Amino acid sequence: MEDNQNLKTADGSKQVELPANGSAESTNKHPRIHWRLIRDIVFGVGIFAGVSVIVWHTAEWLQGRVDQAVTSKLRDEKVLRQIAAQIKPSLIFDGKESIISDMGASQFVKDIRVTKRTKDGLIERIQIDFTRLFANAPILTALHDSVGIYSERGRLLSWEFEIGWIVEPSIKDDKDRLYRLELIP
């Protein structure tokens, strides 16, 4: 029987017969290019790139929507007042112990009392009782008067503020004495 691999023709040259499966691997010195594999790889890379672009654009869109929502909320005065009341609650009261303006601090104030006056009738000591403990001293500032204000912890949850007059005011009416109380949570 003849060898199928090495058949000779009439002129003496070798003729190579392909194997039964039709593959030329045994006779070709170059490897066969697997086009299906290359097509599948390119297709997979394309799918991955497409999904990546969609995810990236979706994330950018979501971030834009969140930024837009936050910006619109921060332009709302009601929301800003709520934030300010939580961060740095304060209020303004007068010399007659009446709260003029509340920026979130009145919920923590139980009582405001003028406990001592000078011989001229000017406020010398104010005691403020709170509904909860404040470890840091509240800040009391006179809005229209030249005074020095010193604070010390009072009884239970109260703070006492000693007022030293630097310049005696020309107006003696207590409704014109305005004080700003700032709480440090």
Query: What average pLDDT does the segment 93-110 reach?
Result: 92
156: left (phi over 0), alpha (psi -120 to 50) or beta: left
What does 117-180 look like in DSSP terms, one character per residue?
Answer: E-TTS-EEEEEEEESS--SSPPEEEESSS-EEEEEEE-STTEEEEEEEESS--S---GGG-EEE
CB 4 within 8 A of CB 17: yes
Q: What pLDDT does 28 receive?
A: 57
Q: pTM score > 0.75 for this model? A: no
Separation CA 147–CA 164 (nearest Å): 5
Q: Any alpha helices (H) in 28-124, and if so which ranges?
A: 35-74, 77-87
> Confidence band (pLDDT; 50, 70, 90) for 148?
very high
Q: What angle do CA 25, 26, 30 make, to 5 degrees?
A: 50
φ, ψ (nearest 5 deg) of residue 160: -115, 140
pLDDT above 70 covers a percentage of the chain that reads: 84
Q: What pLDDT does 47 receive?
A: 93
φ, ψ (nearest 5 deg) of residue 76: -80, 120
Separation CA 103–CA 91 (nearest Å): 5
> Confidence band (pLDDT; 50, 70, 90) for 64?
very high
Distances (CA, A) of 86 to 97, 105, 139: 24, 9, 16
Q: What pLDDT does 32 receive?
A: 80
Q: What pLDDT does 45 receive?
A: 93
CB 92 within 8 A of CB 180: yes
- 185, pLDDT greater than 80: no
Indicate the average pLDDT of the chain: 85
- 139, pLDDT greater than 80: yes
